[in-house]
A and B are shown apart, each in its own frame.
Chain A
Amino acid sequence: MEIAGRAPRIAQRPASRINSWRLGVIICASLLSLPVVTVFAYVFVPAGEVWVHLVDTVLMDYLINTALLATGVAVGVLAIGIPAAWIVTAYEFPGRRFFEWALLLPLAIPAYIMAYTYTGLLEFAGPVQGLLRQVAGWSAGDYRFPEIRSLWGAVAMLSLVLYPYVYMMARASFGGQSLSILEAGRVLGAGPVRVFFDVALPLARPALVTGLSLALMETLADYGTVQYFGITTFTTGIFRTWFGLNDSAAAAQLAALLMSFVFFLILLELYSRRRLRFFQTTGRYRQLERYQTHGWYSVLLFVLCLIPLTFGFLVPAGQLGIWAFSTAEESLDQRFLWLVGNSLLLASSASLLTLVLALFLGYGRRLHPTRGINFAVRLSAMGYAIPGTVIAVGVMLPFAWLDNQLDHWMRAAFGWSTGLLLSGTLVILLFAYAVRFLAVSLQSVESGLARVTPNMDDAARSLGLAPGGVLLKIHLPIMRGALFSALLLVFVDVLKELPATLILRPFNFNTLAVRAFELASDERLADSSVAALAIVAVGIVPVVLLSRAVTRSGVQHVKPAST
């Protein structure tokens, strides 16, 4: 491992290659930025009166609540994700291999569904308070019970659903940290805790920032949870302004404000580590020997891992299961299989498409880290921080405009109507997913790329490989783990995705998420539970498969490097 003072540049690029990569990246990034730019364009639409009203009444509330929510979730996901990742990486204890993948499971539960299940459990008439009253002999008013539908409740819900981002990135980083440096720490007599704080944690910083920023972007875009809990945030404000005040311009401006905020944070983060690069320079990627634990120590570690799994997955999934038990008969019909098929189709194609785009953009940025390309790529990945509905409208407007222009022109020129070619098809929907989830894929890919030292690029290039060849033959095998993470995260995200699917899908096309939402929004939680549970079940399969691949890949990329 080398912590270089400056990033070494990759030398000697044939001029023609530069241009094609550059051009490709710019075109791709611009296309993907189109929705974000469309939303930003509303900044120039006058919306005077409503703004005065917002500033006078609710804007301050939106800002404060959003800031508190984001801060709380940041603390929450780090506090759960980092220790969990370190425990399963550095210690050997019974159940470790199970927890390795099981700790990712909360990812498969949509945040608003989690909010519903916890409300069902913890409300006055729910089983928890009921039991409490029975045991203690209390009745209403005798005791105070923390209200789950509050800001802190929302922080808890979102932390539980989103900590897997931090956990996953941190684990990949801990597991990939080269043996020599961690062993050096150990040889010098540092215990696991000291190695963690002095060596592993600082080295994992880029990965942690990546995981954290994903969690925060999703927090800022969350609508379902905060709306149900009655918390007025920027996101609820956007929809209130649009739906309630019927001012889509002002709503888009609020969204643009939110985006600027996120963009600023991203720039700040980039600036803070502009001089630091973290590369592996040794081929010795053998997995660090785990600390053996015994007795109470093993039990302690087991319990520590069990806590997030319990609250993040077992409890909500259990509640869903109980609900589903009573309604499964009515819900499971032929059409339900179609829902599963549609969800799978969308999730798998979108995760592959997004991965290809992310590889292209991420690698382009590595080849040509110019300011222009940096900016274009960052901009194209902004879609993750914006509420899905807003980004979906940002996708819909330019394409519908394009379709209509083409149709009008064809009609004028040839008297032949093309109708809407792309609007209302799955192509648009896949594009919207790519826009929305590119950040997820890109973060994984870039953190994977960042750990491959440029020395390897140089070596391969000097041996006559073109950039594309370097990517395919050198980088992809080394970063298998990161690629799997990217696929998995987007797959599960698309399974859960609701707003873009709802707005952009074709006629007679439904998914599990749509079914779950429709019933839940009608306050028929028990009826929605079968679909919600199916999302979880479909999400688990890739979580298990890919998590094992991530584990294995830590060992496997020894081979090409060491022979």
Chain B
Amino acid sequence: MNERTLGIRFAVGFLVGMMAAGPLLASGEINLYSARNEALIKPLLDRFTEQTGISVNLVTGKADTLLKRLESEGDNSPADMLITTDAGRLHRAKQAGLTQAVETQVLNDAVPAPYREPEGHWYGLSLRARPIFYAKDRVSPESLSSYRALAGPEWAGKICIRSSDNIYNQSLVAAMIAHDGEEKTQEWVNGLVENFARSPKGGDRDQIKAVAAGECDIALANTYYLAGMLTGNDQNQRLAAQAVAVYWPDQEGRGTHVNVSGAAVTAFARNRENAIKLLEFLVSPESQSWYGEVNQEYPVRDGVAWSQLLNQWGRFKADQLNLSLLGENNAQAVMIMDRAGWK
């Protein structure tokens, strides 16, 4: 008896929940698939809704699975916009015919050419730099110069970096392929792997911690992780982060490797106009400084004030490579890393 009413209660609860949570396809609302975490996009969306009265529905997830969802849903997909955290996936989305070209004066003025797709299939929203971090007490910055130099014998057993499963490592190698060609990149990766202090494990913060702990002298990681350690409330992490400094490699040459988090209007968007409005909002000066304040990412837009911490690390020359190439070379990069035994 008891179980029967329980079942009914569950069934009712389930139905009510479904109606409440099901896709609300009211006209004009924007449906967004985002690989940026809820915490790193939702506040901006709320601000957009406040200003324009246009609501935004959000699903977050990993970029590749969102792409798969978009692809399988085809022309009936409810999604109007896709946000990823690297250029490679945006390129992949474009290749699969999941994006459409949009072009407005506002967008072109806001986003410099290297950080957007030439036809307007996608636009960068924020920059993520991957420089070298070194132990202040053991490494002099004069001994550092470029990514390529990290393969030299003087760094044997001194480098920490995370697994090659990580997209930012794949993108870095993809950029090297674009600059130096496959053969030279293979040599470089082989040399780099030889210099690993330990078998890759953990995330970017773990590499920085390992430098602080003395397991290795230098690490490659994205800057916002260091920022997160400095501004978070874990004292051990703060101490570790204070023991390392940022070095911007390749300042004499091609510039430090950067990736973008970016957005595209989907091929079958029902609310194209509103999606473009949102896109323009996401590259507006107000939003651009938000990425820095909240997650210490760099703005793509010139002339936007940087957060205090970013200013502290100084200006740097970023690699001007067209970021579509990161996507094009990604598979090749993974194969090179497999061959070099980069776990």
**Which residues on A are within 8 Å of B, measured CB to CB?**
53, 56-58, 119, 123-126, 140-141, 149, 227-230, 232, 236, 239-240, 242-248, 326-327, 342, 345, 348-349, 352, 389, 392-393, 396-397, 400-401, 403-404, 407, 417, 419-420, 423-427, 499, 502-503, 505-510, 514-515, 518-519, 521-524, 526
Query: What is the chain A residue whose CB lies nearest that of B72?
Result: A400
CB of B292, distance to nearest CB on chain A (Å): 16
Q: Are B76 and A140 in contact (CB-based, < 8 A)?
A: no
B133-173 toward A: CB 8 Å interface, digit per residue (1/0)? 00000000000000000000000000000111101001000
Point out the residues of chain B lying under 8 angstroms from A518, CB to CB.
37-39, 60
Residues of B55-107 contacting chain A, CB below 8 A: 57-62, 64-66, 68-69, 72-78, 92
Q: Are B65 and A124 in contact (CB-based, < 8 A)?
A: no
Q: How far is the CA of A505 from the CA of B66 in the complex (A)?
A: 11
CB of A415, distance to nearest CB on chain B (Å): 16
Query: What is the chain B residue whose CB lies nearest that of A240?
Result: B165
CB of B304, distance to nearest CB on chain A (Å): 23
Q: Are B39 and A519 in contact (CB-based, < 8 A)?
A: yes
Q: Are B69 and A342 in contact (CB-based, < 8 A)?
A: no
User: Can you give 21 contacting A-B residue pairs, CB < 8 Å?
Assistant: A57-B338, A57-B339, A123-B213, A124-B209, A125-B237, A141-B214, A227-B163, A228-B201, A230-B199, A230-B343, A345-B17, A349-B10, A396-B69, A401-B72, A404-B73, A420-B78, A505-B59, A507-B59, A518-B60, A522-B228, A523-B204
Q: Are B92 and A503 in contact (CB-based, < 8 A)?
A: no
Any A CB within 8 A of the CB of B303 = no
Please tell me which stretch of B18-26, B115-123, B178-186, B187-195 contacts chain A, meaning at least 4 of its Cβ atoms lie within 8 angstroms of it.
B18-26
**Which residues on B are within 8 Å of A, measured CB to CB?**
7, 10, 13-14, 17-18, 21-25, 31, 37-40, 57-62, 64-66, 68-69, 72-78, 92, 162-165, 167, 170, 199-206, 209-210, 212-215, 225, 228, 232-234, 236-237, 239-240, 330-331, 334-335, 338-339, 343
Q: What 8 A-B pairs have minimum CB-CB distances, sorted nearest first?
A: A230-B201, A507-B57, A124-B213, A400-B72, A244-B334, A57-B338, A149-B201, A140-B214
Point out the residues of chain A lying under 8 angstroms from B64, CB to CB.
242-243
Q: Are B65 and A389 in contact (CB-based, < 8 A)?
A: yes
* Known contacts A229-B201, A236-B165; is-contact A404 B23 (Cβ 8 Å): no
Q: How far is the CA of A48 from the CA of B200 in the complex (A)?
A: 29
Q: How far is the CA of A229 from the CA of B165 in the complex (A)?
A: 12
* Known contacts A423-B73, A425-B23, A524-B228; is-contact A125 B58 (Cβ 8 Å): no
CB of B87, distance to nearest CB on chain A (Å): 14
Q: Which of the residues A53, A327, A523, A526 comes within 8 Å of B203, measured between beta carbons? A: A523
* Known contacts A227-B165, A352-B10, A507-B57; is-contact A125 B65 (Cβ 8 Å): no
* Known contacts A396-B72, A404-B74, A526-B232; is-contact A119 B202 (Cβ 8 Å): yes
* Known contacts A58-B338, A125-B213, A244-B334; is-contact A424 B78 (Cβ 8 Å): yes
CB of B44, distance to nearest CB on chain A (Å): 15
Q: How far is the CA of A57 from the CA of B21 in the complex (A)?
A: 46
CB of A444, distance to nearest CB on chain B (Å): 17
Point out the residues of chain A lying under 8 angstroms from B213, CB to CB.
123-125, 140
Q: Are A342 and B330 in contact (CB-based, < 8 A)?
A: no
Q: How far is the CA of A55 from the CA of B66 in the complex (A)?
A: 29
Q: How far is the CA of A326 from the CA of B39 in the complex (A)?
A: 18
Q: Are A509 and B21 in contact (CB-based, < 8 A)?
A: yes
Q: Which of the residues B23, B164, B228 comes within 8 Å of A506, measured between beta carbons? A: B23
Q: How far is the CA of A403 from the CA of B76 in the complex (A)?
A: 9
Point out the residues of chain A lying under 8 angstroms from B65, CB to CB.
389, 392-393, 499, 502-503
Q: How far is the CA of A254 from the CA of B338 in the complex (A)?
A: 16
